[in-house]
Amino acid sequence: MSLRVLGVDPGLTRCGLGVVDVERNRRATLVAVGVVGTEAGTALDARLLVIAEAIDLWLDTHKPDVLAVERVFSQLNVSTVMGTAQASGVVIAAAARRGIPVALHTPTEVKAAVTGSGGANKDAVGKMVTKILRLDAPPKPADAADALALALTHAWRRGVAGPGQTTAGSASGARAIARPPTAGLTPAQRLWAEAEARARR
C-alpha cells in the first residue's frame, strides 16, 4: 500500500502541481507534474478561477490521499505574499470540499527533507527530486520540482500510510504512523530521519 500526495507550490503566475506515490519503504514514484498560471496583467478573479479549475481537475483525476501546500511566509514583496496566499486559499478550499486533509510545510522544511540542508537552492532541490524519483531530467520550471519536493517532504516527515488512512499532522489529526528504519534510504532521507530521531529524544 502506498500514500498518494499532491504537492502544491502556490502562486498566481506559476502554481506548481506534483503527484507522487510513496511506499512504506519511502520509495517514491512520479504520477504527474505540471504548472498552471496566468499573466500578471490578468484580472485577479480570472487568475484565481484558472487555479481553481486546475486544482479541481487534478484532485478529481489523481484522487490524492493528502495535499501538501507550501506555507506562506514573509517576504519583502507584499504583493507576492498576497498572491501566494490567495492561490493557497483556493487550493485548500478545493481539498476541503472533498474531505482531503491538507498539510502546510515551509520552504526550509522542504529543502531540508529533500537535500539534507535547509539552505539549499532551487537547483539542488531539482537535482535531488530528479534522483529520488528516478527521472531523466529535473522537472521544469522550478515550481514543478518544488511541488514534487513538497509531496515528498510530507510523506517522509509524517510517515507513509496506505489509502484510506491519513498521516499525522494532517487536518484530521489522525494518529502517527510508525516510521520505517533508515536502511535503504537516500543520503538526504537518512539525514532527515536522523534529525527527527534526535528531536524526539
Residues tagged in the binding site annotation for Mg(2+): 9, 70, 143
Residues tagged in the binding site annotation: 9, 70, 143
Residue in 9, 65, 109, 146 annotated catalytic: 9
Nearest residue to 73 via CA among 82, 60, 64, 62: 82
Q: Which residues of 126-163 are buried (b: 16+ CB within 10 A; e: fewer)?
A: bbbbbebbeeeebbeebbbbbbbbbbbbbbbbbbbbee
Active site residue 45: no
Residue in 21, 65, 109, 143 annotated catalytic: 143
Going by the DSSP 8-state scheme, the letter that residue 181 receives in this structure is: P
Sign of CA dihedral 48, 19, 26, 118: negative
Active site residue 146: no
Active site residue 123: no
Residue in 65, 70, 109, 146 annotated catalytic: 70
Q: Using an 8 Å Cβ cutoff, are 184 and 118 in contact? A: no
List, by residue number, the catalytic residues. 9, 70, 143
